[in-house]
């Protein structure tokens, strides 16, 4: 089989070392003679595993002690609803900064549960983020929500929105643990696991303690931050296998040098690809340079037929899942933590050859 590099946006590739580790102990976990999938989530070994997983995750992201880390179900979309139910109960109003598909979808879902004001932070007609100073108005809202990495368009926001002392909430589904951040600047950070943390089925919520305990009473217990926090995220049976795989990813990242090292590698990978795109006559990336995502690199030949040919030929060469999202077309290379630089190099080599052949 030719070497495969998987550029899927999500569920995305996982570190090979993690999959091999899981494979090796699949049938006999912790010398129990069973797999991790078949044991009680309240058993000693499982509890030890999740305790260590949280410790490792906290270490990776330098999470301050006054934050809880919840491991929930329902994906990021579940959190789109959980957020207003848990947080929008004092002023009854939330501010959503929209920069693309996911932030807009989050705003729409939230509007079923609270009053929502939306501000489009993209400059008109461009994939470029404008001024992010909301400190004058943020106090009117229970929280200000944004999406620092728009997975579909490949727009990343590196500067923190200024919100004064208001609560800042971020959907980091596609860039969590990809670069260093100061967690203390956020009220809530959440992420579905299937891009940069592990497999689908588990969702991480980092929430500042003083924001816990304000949920409206009809909030489902599985999404009530107070209930889940008091129950170690186990008010019901958690997705045990996904949790286990995340624990292996965290350990692997620490062994690799942590988030600081990931950031360095992610910058190198993205730089290689954007530099190539910029000198090419065939491919175009239309995101403003300061908002180019380190995780999702979008490009197009501006010709649908040629794009389709590109995707088909790349797939045949082992470069998988490069087709862009259906709302945008073109191509997208998702290069999360697990993508080695060799994958980016192989992609560039293919792109160069394709360009020569199709000019």
Ligand X SMILES: *Cc1c(COP(=O)(O)O)cnc(C)c1O
Structure tokens at 203: 């969702």
Q: Which residue in this structure is represented by tokens 């999938």?
A: 37
Among 99, 114, 151, 293, binds ligand X (CB under 6 A): 151
Report in angstroms how near the CB of residue 191 gets to ligand X at its nearest. Answer: 8
Q: Which residue in this structure is represented by tokens 């229970």?
A: 142
CB-count exposure of residue 102 (10 Å: 0-12, 13-18, 19+): buried
The answer to whether 236 is annotated as binding is: yes
Structure tokens at 234: 């186990």
Report in angstroms how near the CB of residue 337 gets to ligand X at its nearest. Answer: 14
Report in angstroms how near the CB of residue 280 gets to ligand X at its nearest. Answer: 27
Report in angstroms how near the CB of residue 190 gets to ligand X at its nearest. Answer: 9
Judged by beta carbon, residue 102 or residue 134, the one nearer ligand X is: 102
The answer to whether 76 is annotated as binding is: yes
Q: Does position 192 bind ligand X by CB under 6 A?
A: yes
Report in angstroms how near the CB of residue 274 gets to ligand X at its nearest. Answer: 20
Structure tokens at 177: 């643990």
Radius of gyration of the chain (CA): 21
Pairing of strands 203-208, 67-72: antiparallel
Among 102, 146, 299, 350, binds ligand X (CB under 6 A): 102
Q: Does position 76 bind ligand X by CB under 6 A?
A: yes
Among 86, 114, 173, 224, binds ligand X (CB under 6 A): 173
Report in angstroms how near the CB of residue 193 gets to ligand X at its nearest. Answer: 8
Pairing of strands 188-192, 203-208: antiparallel
Q: Does position 198 bind ligand X by CB under 6 A?
A: no
The answer to whether 42 is annotated as binding is: yes
Q: Residues touching ligand X: how many (CB under 6 A)?
A: 12
> Do you know the residue count of the chain?
359
Residue 204 CA, chain-centre distance (Å), reads 10
Partnered with residue 299 across adjacent β-strands are 331
Q: Which stretch binds ligand X (CB under 6 A): 74-82, 180-188, 245-253, 338-346?
A: 74-82
DSSP 187-223: SEEEEETTTTTSSTT-EEEEEEGGGTT---TTS-GGG
If we measure between CA atoms, which residue out of 189, 213, 193 comes closest to residue 201?
193
Which listed residue (68, 171, 223, 269) is catalytic?
171
If we measure between CA atoms, which residue out of 89, 76, 77, 79 comes closest to residue 115?
89
Judged by beta carbon, residue 170 or residue 322, the one nearer ligand X is: 170
> Is residue 171 among the annotated active site residues?
yes
> Is residue 93 among the annotated active site residues?
no
Judged by beta carbon, residue 118 or residue 313, the one nearer ligand X is: 118
Q: Which stretch binds ligand X (CB under 6 A): 39-47, 72-80, 256-264, 298-306?
A: 72-80
Structure tokens at 358: 């199709």
The answer to whether 29 is annotated as binding is: no
The answer to whether 243 is annotated as binding is: no
Q: Does position 10 bind ligand X by CB under 6 A?
A: yes
The answer to whether 223 is annotated as binding is: no
Judged by beta carbon, residue 77 or residue 284, the one nearer ligand X is: 77
CB-count exposure of residue 305 (10 Å: 0-12, 13-18, 19+): exposed
The answer to whether 300 is annotated as binding is: no
> Is residue 223 among the annotated active site residues?
no
Q: Does position 108 bind ligand X by CB under 6 A?
A: no
Pairing of strands 155-156, 143-146: unpaired
Which listed residue (29, 102, 223, 243) is catalytic?
102
Structure tokens at 71: 């491991």
Cis status of the peptide bond prior to 11, with omega within 30 of 0? yes
Among 21, 58, 77, 216, binds ligand X (CB under 6 A): 77
For the chain, report the end-to-end CA distance as a whole number of angstroms: 30
Residues that bind ligand X in the complex, under the rule CB under 6 A: 10, 75-77, 102, 147, 151, 171, 173-174, 192, 195
Report, as residue numbers or ranges, the catalytic residues: 102, 171, 195
Residues flagged as binding site for L-glutamate:
42
Residues flagged as binding site for pyridoxal 5'-phosphate:
76-77, 102, 151, 171, 194, 236-237
């Amino acid at each position: 089989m030719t070497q495969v590099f998987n550029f899927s946006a999500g569920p995305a590739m996982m570190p090979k070392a993690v999959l091999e580790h899981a494979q090796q102990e699949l049938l006999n976990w912790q010398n129990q003679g069973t797999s991790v999938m078949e044991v009680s989530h309240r058993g000693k070994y499982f509890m030890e595993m999740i305790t260590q997983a949280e410790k490792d995750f906290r270490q990776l992201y330098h999470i301050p002690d006054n934050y809880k880390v919840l491991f929930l179900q329902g994906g990021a979309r579940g959190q789109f609803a959980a957020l207003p139910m848990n947080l929008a109960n004092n002023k009854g109003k939330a501010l959503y900064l929209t920069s693309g598909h996911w932030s807009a979808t989050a705003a729409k879902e939230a509007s079923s549960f609270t009053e929502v004001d939306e501000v489009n932070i993209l400059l008109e007609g461009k994939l470029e983020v404008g001024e992010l100073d909301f400190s004058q108005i943020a106090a009117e809202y229970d929280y200000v929500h944004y999406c620092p990495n728009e997975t579909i368009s490949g727009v990343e926001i590196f500067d923190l929105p200024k919100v004064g002392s208001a609560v800042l909430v971020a959907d980091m589904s596609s860039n969590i643990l990809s670069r260093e951040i100061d967690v203390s600047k956020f009220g809530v950070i959440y992420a579905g696991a299937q891009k940069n943390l592990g497999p689908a089925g588990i969702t991480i919520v980092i929430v500042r303690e003083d924001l816990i305990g304000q949920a409206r009473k009809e909030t489902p217990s599985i999404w009530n931050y107070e209930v889940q926090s008091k129950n170690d995220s186990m008010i019901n049976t958690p997705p045990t296998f996904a949790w286990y795989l995340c624990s292996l990813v965290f350990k692997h990242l620490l062994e690799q040098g942590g988030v600081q090292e990931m950031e360095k590698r992610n910058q190198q990978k993205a730089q290689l690809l954007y530099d190539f795109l910029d000198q090419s006559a065939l491919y175009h990336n239309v995101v403003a340079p300061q908002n180019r995502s380190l995780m999702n690199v979008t490009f197009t030949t501006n010709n649908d037929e040629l794009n389709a040919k590109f995707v088909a030929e790349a797939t045949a060469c082992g470069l998988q899942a490069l087709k862009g999202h259906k709302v945008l077309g073109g191509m997208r290379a998702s290069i999360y933590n697990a993508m080695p630089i060799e994958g980016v190099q192989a992609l560039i080599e293919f792109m160069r050859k394709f360009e020569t052949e199709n000019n």
